[in-house]
Structure 1
Amino acid sequence: MKDHRGVALIVASALFMQNLDSAVLATALPAMARDLNEDPARLGAAITSYLVALTVFIPFSAWIADRFGAKRVFMLAILVFVASSILCGRAQGLGELVAFRVLQGVGGAMMVPVGRLLLLREVPKKDMLSAMAWLTMPALLGPVTGPPLGGVLTDLFSWRAVFWINVPIGLVGLVLVAWRIPHVPPARPGPPDVVGLALTGGALALLMFGLETVGRHVVPGWMSWSGLVCGGAMGWLAIRHCRRAPSPAVDLGLFRIATFRDPAVAGSLFRTGAGAVPFLIPLMLQIGFGMSATQSGFVSFATALGAFAMKPLVRPLLRRTGFRTALMANGVLAAAGVAALALVTPAWPAAAIFLLLAAGGLARSLQFTALNTLAFADVPPERMSRATALYGTLQQLSPALGVVLATATLEVSQALAGRDALLPVDFSLGFVVAALVVVLAVPLHARLPADAGAEVSGHRG
C-alpha cells in the first residue's frame, strides 16, 4: 500500500467519531441521570450496552467484510452509527437509550475492525508500527476534545447534544471513504459458522447481562444468576465447537501465536483495569468534588492529552527496548498512575489533578499502542480478517468489564458504609481495584520471547 498514511487517517475518522462519542458521554452521565431520574451508577448501562453490542457483533464483521467487501461494509457501518446517534439523542428513558445504544454498537462493531482491516491487509510489516501510529493519533483527538466538548455541550444545551455531534463527523468521514479508499472486491469465504456465531454472541450477551445486573436490583436476582450460568455454559459450548469446526466463527488457533496471545490475554486484563478510569474520573469530579460538567471536562481531557503526547515517542521507545521490556516496565508505571488517583481529594488544586491525569495518560497510551501493534505482528495475511475480529471483540469486551468493575466497586463501597450517596472515598476504592487489575497483566508479559515483534519494532537486542 503506497498511501498507508492517507488510508490510516481516513479510517481514523471512524475511530475519532467512536472515541469522541465515548468521551463526551462519560462527561454527560451525571446530567443524563438527573434528566432521566436515574441513579448515576445505573447510567453505566448506557456505556456497557454499547460495548456489549460491539463485543457480540464484532465476530460477524470478519465474514461480512469478506463476503460483501470491506469498503462497502465500512461505509454502511458509518451510516448505521450516525443514524443511531440521532435516535440516542431523542431517547426519553433509560430503556430507550440502552436500545438505541445497542443499535449504535452494531454499527461500531462493523466500523472499527473492518476499518482496521482495510489498512492492515496491505501494509508491510516494516511499516506496521508507523501505520498504527497514524491510525491512532487522529483517533486520540476524540478523547482529547471529548471531555471539554461534552461538558460545554451539556451545560449550554443538554446531554442530548453530545450524540448529535456525530452527525457532521460521520458524514465527512463517509465522503472521504467513498472518495479516497480503493474498492475491495468481495471474496468467497464460504458459508458463515452460524452455530459458532450464535453460541459466541449468546454467551457474551448473557455473561455481560449477568455481570451488569447482579446485585443491583435492576432485575430479579434469579435472572442475573441465570444469565451468568447460561452464559458460562454457552461459552464452553462455543469453545468446544470452534475447536472442532473446519471454518470456525472464532479462530482459537490464533492463540498459538505468542505475539497475538499476549496482547489478547494480558492486554485484556490491562484494558479492563484501564477501562474503569474514564468512567470513574468524570463521576468523581462532578459527584464527589462538586465540579460542573464543563469544569470536569477540561480537567478530564488531560488524560487523553498525555496519551496524544506519547504517540510520537512510541516508535523510538519500542526500537530501543523491544515489546517485552516496554510492556512489563510500562505496565507497572501505568498501574501506579491509576493507583495514584486514589490519593486525589477535593482539596487538591485542579492543576495538580490535571498533571496527574496527563502523566497517567502517557503510560496507558504507550501500553495500548504496543499491545495493538504487537497483536498483528506475526498474523499471516490470510488470517488477518479473523484476527481483527477476535482481537476487536476482546478489545471492546475489556472496557465493558472495566465499567462493570467500577460500578460494582462504587455500589459495594457505598452499601458497606450504609450511605445513600457516593463520597470521594468510594471513588478512591474504585481506582485501587482498577490498579490491581492493571498490574496483574505485568507478569504475563514475561512469557514473551525477548525478540517478540522485532520485525515491527526494529529492536534487535
Structure 2
Amino acid sequence: MSADVGDGLAPGVEAIATPREATAAERAPPARGYRVIALVVASALFMQQLDGTVLTVALPTMARDLGTSATSLSVALTSYLLALALFIPASGTLADRFGSRNLFCAAIGVFLLGSLACAQSASLPMLVGARFVQGIGGAMMVPVGRLVLLRSVAKEDMVQALSWLVMPALAGPILGPPLGGFIVTWLDWRWIFYLNIPVGILGVVGAFLLVPDVRGDPRARFDLIGFLLSGVALGCLLFGFELASRPGTGLAALALLAVGALLAIGYVRHARRTTDPILDLTLMRVPTFRLSVFGGSLTRITQGAQPFLLPLMFQIGFGLSAARTGTITMAGAIGALAMKALAPRVLRRWGFRRSLIVSGLASSAGYATCAFFRPDWPVAVMFGVLALSGFFTSFQFTGYNAIAYADVDKDRMSAATSFYATFQQLTLSLGICTAATVLELGTLVQRDGRPTLTTFSVAFVVVATISAAAVVWNRRFAPDAGAEMSGHRDHD
C-alpha cells in the first residue's frame, strides 16, 4: 500500500509556538536533526506498511480460517482505509491543540490496541472492527509526523527530507511479502499483528526522546459539524463502493452512494460558510496543490488495487504458495527503494512536470503488463516488471508529495496535510473497491465462484487505464512548477 509519505528539529531545540511567528531560519533544522526525526517518524510508517503488505499475502489463508472468501476480505482492508479517511482530517487541528509529539505517541498506542484486537479476531466482523480501530491510530501517526517535517524543514530541502522519511519505511513493503509468506506457511497469521508491538514501543520511546513538540495555533476551532458531515459522507461513499462489488447488494449500495453524495454537497456548502473548515476546500485554488491531488488520486487508485490483486492472482490463479508469492511481490518495494536516492537528482535535472509525465506513463505500462502474467512466465521476468513498476510509481509519489506543498503557506500546512492525506487514503480505498468489483463481476459467470486468470487480466487493465489518465493532469503543471524545491532551472 502506498501511503506515500520529513523531519524536525534536533533534540533540545525548543518547539515552535506558531508557524506565523517563526522565521524560515528558525524552522529549518540542521541536516542531522531532520534526518534523525525522519527515522523516528518512519517507524510508524514502517509499522503501517509492514502490516498492510504482510496482510495482503495472508488473505487466502485468513479467509479459510474465518470461513469466508478471499475477495470478501477486501472489506477488512477497506475498513482500515476508511478509518484513515475519516480521522485524518482531524489530525492537523488536534496536533495544534495537544502537541504533535503527544498525539503521535497516543496514535501509536491506539494502533497497537487495534493490532492486539486483530490478532484475537475469530470472525470477519470482529476483524473488520479491529482493523477500524487500527485505522484510527494510523490516521494520526503518519500525517502528524509529516506535519512536523513540513513545519520544520526549508523548502529547498523538502525533496531530500521526504526521501529520508520514506526510505526506512520502504523496508516494510520489502520485508512484508516474504515475511507474510513465512508466517502463513510456518506459523499463524495472527503473528502478523503481534509483530507491531515491539516496533510500536520503539517508536513511542524514540518520539519522546527525539521528536520536538511542534505546534500550530492552539486556539484554532475544531470544526465538529464539518468533521461529522465529511466523515459520514466519506463512510457512505466508501462502503457504497464496497457493497457495489458484491452481488445482490445493488440497492443498498446505491442508497449509501446517494446519501454520501448529498452529505458531501452539504459539507461543501458548510465549508464555504465557516472560517476553519476541517477540510479547507480553498486549498484547491493553489494550482500545484490541486493538480497533485487530481493526478495523485488517479495514481493511488491503481496503487491501492495492485497489492490486493497480485497476491490473489499468484495464489488463486497460479496456485503458488504464500511464501513463493511473497518473494515475488516484494519486487515492487525493492524498485521503490532503489528510486528514492535518485529522485532529487532526477527532479533537479528534468523538473516536476516532465518527470511526472514520463514516470506516469512508465508505471501505467508496468501495471498493464501484469495483465499478461501467466504461470509459465519466468519468475525473474515477473520480478523485473514489478520492480520497474515500483520504481516509477514510487517516483510519482515522491514528486506528488513534494510539489503539493510547493506553493502552500507555512500557516496552512496543517490544513494542507490533513486535506491531502485524506484524499490519499480515500483513493487507495477506491482502488481496492475497484479491483474487488471487477473480480466479483468476473466470478458471477464461474461455477466455482473463483476468479479466473482472464478476470485478473481485466482488473489489471482497468486499473492501469485509470493510472494512465493521471498524465492529463501532469501535463497541466507549469514547466517551472516546484523549481524552488527541485532546483530545476530549465524553464523551457
State whether structure 2 residue 460 is matched by structure 1 residue 431: yes
Equivalent runs, 1:36-75 vs 2, <5 Å: 36-75=66-105
Report how far residue 181 of structure 1 moved. Answer: 1.2
Aligned mates of 1:302, 1:242 — CA distance in 2: 43
Query: Does the CA contact (< 8 Å) of 2:367 and 2:461 recur in 1?
Result: yes
Structure 2: state its 5+ residue gaps.
1-28
Gaps of 5+ in 1: none
Q: Deviations over 1:242-283 (max 9, x none)?
A: 122111111111111111111111110111012211111111
1:151: how far off? Answer: 0.8
Aligned to 2:189: 159
1:222 deviation in Å?
3.1
Q: How does 1:246-285 map to 2 (within 5 A)?
A: 246-285=275-314
Between the aligned partners of 1:432 and 1:186, the Cα distance in structure 2 is: 44
2:131 matches 1:80: no
* In the alignment, structure 1 residue 360 sits paired with structure 2 residue 389: yes
Task: Give CA deviations for 1:19-58 in whole Å, capped at 9, x if unaligned.
Answer: 1111000011011011111111000111111001100111
Name 1:192's counterpart in structure 2.
222
Name 2:18's counterpart in structure 1: none
| 1:183 Cα offset (Å) | 2.7
Q: Secondary structure at the match of 2:51?
A: helix
Letter in 2 for 1:267: G
> Offset at 1:144?
0.7
User: Does the 8 Å CA contact 1:69/1:187 hold for their aligned counterparts?
Assistant: no
1:224: Cα distance to partner? 2.0
Contact kept in structure 2, 1:68 and 1:187, CA below 8 Å: no
Note if 1:118 corresponds to 2:148: yes
Residue in structure 2 matched with residue 28 of structure 1 by the alignment = 58
Q: 1:384 to 1:337 in 2, by over 3 A?
A: same
Residues 1:397 and 2:426 are matched in the alignment:
yes
Alignment equivalent of 1:325, drawn from 348, 354, 366 = 354
How many pairs does the alignment contain?
Answer: 460
Aligned partners of 2:186, 2:245: CA distance in 1, in Å? 36
Partner of 2:450: 421
Match of 1:379 in 2: 408
1:416 is displaced (CA, Å) by 4.2
Identify the residue that residue 210 of structure 2 maps to in structure 1. Answer: 180
Alignment correspondent of 1:216: 246
What's the TM-score once normalised by structure 1's chain length? 0.98
Tell me which residue corresponds to 2:11: none
Partner of 2:6: none
Change (3 A) 1:239 1:350: same
Once the two structures are TM-superposed, the CA of residue 371 in structure 1 deviates from its matched residue by 0.7
CA offset digits 1:95-129 (Å, max 9, x no partner): 00000100100000011101100111110001101
For residues 437 and 326 of structure 1, the distance between their equivalents in structure 2, rounded to whole angstroms, comes to: 19
SS at match of 1:43: helix
Pick aligned residue for 1:97 from 121, 127, 130: 127
Q: Is the 8 A contact 2:351 2:480 kept in 1?
A: yes
Pick from 136, 141, 166 the counterpart of residue 136 of structure 1: 166
SS at 1:329 equivalent: helix
Instruction: Give me the whole-angstrom Cα distance separating, in 1, the residues matched to 2:481 and 2:308.
Output: 33
1:171 aligned partner, one-letter code: I
Q: Distance in 1 between matches of 2:446 and 2:127?
A: 31
Deviation at 1:418, TM superposition (A): 5.6
Does 1:149 pair with 2:179? yes
Q: Could you tell me which residue of structure 1 aligns to residue 268 of structure 2? A: 239
How far 1:217 moved relative to its partner?
4.3
Alpha-carbon distance, 1:215 to partner: 5.1
TM-score (norm 2): 0.92
Q: 1:68, 1:186 within 8 Å by CA — same for their partners in 2?
A: no
What fraction of aligned residue pairs are identical, expressed as a percent? 46
1:126-183 CA-to-partner distances (Å, cap 9, x unmatched) read 1101100001101111101100011101111111111111111111111111111123
> 1:272-316: per-residue Cα shift (whole Å, max 9, x none)?
012211111111111111111111001110110111111111111
Residue by residue over 1:307-329, the C-alpha shift from the partner in whole angstroms, topping out at 9 and shown as x without a partner, is 11111111111111100011111
CA distance in structure 2 between the aligned counterparts of 1:453 and 1:278, rounded to whole angstroms: 30
Distance 1:11 1:131 in 2: 12
Amino acid at match of 1:194: L
For residues 456 and 413 of structure 1, the distance between their equivalents in structure 2, rounded to whole angstroms, comes to: 45
The answer to whether 1:341 aligns with 2:391 is no
Change (3 A) 1:225 1:288: same
- Does 2:479 align with 1:454? no
Task: Report if aligned partners of 2:245, 2:438 keep a CA contact under 8 Å in 1.
Answer: no
In 2: Cα distance, 1:419 partner to 1:283 partner: 16
- In structure 2, give the amino acid aligned to 1:376: Y
Q: Kindly state the Cα deviation for residue 240 of structure 1 after the two structures are TM-superposed.
A: 1.4
Deviation at 1:376, TM superposition (A): 1.3
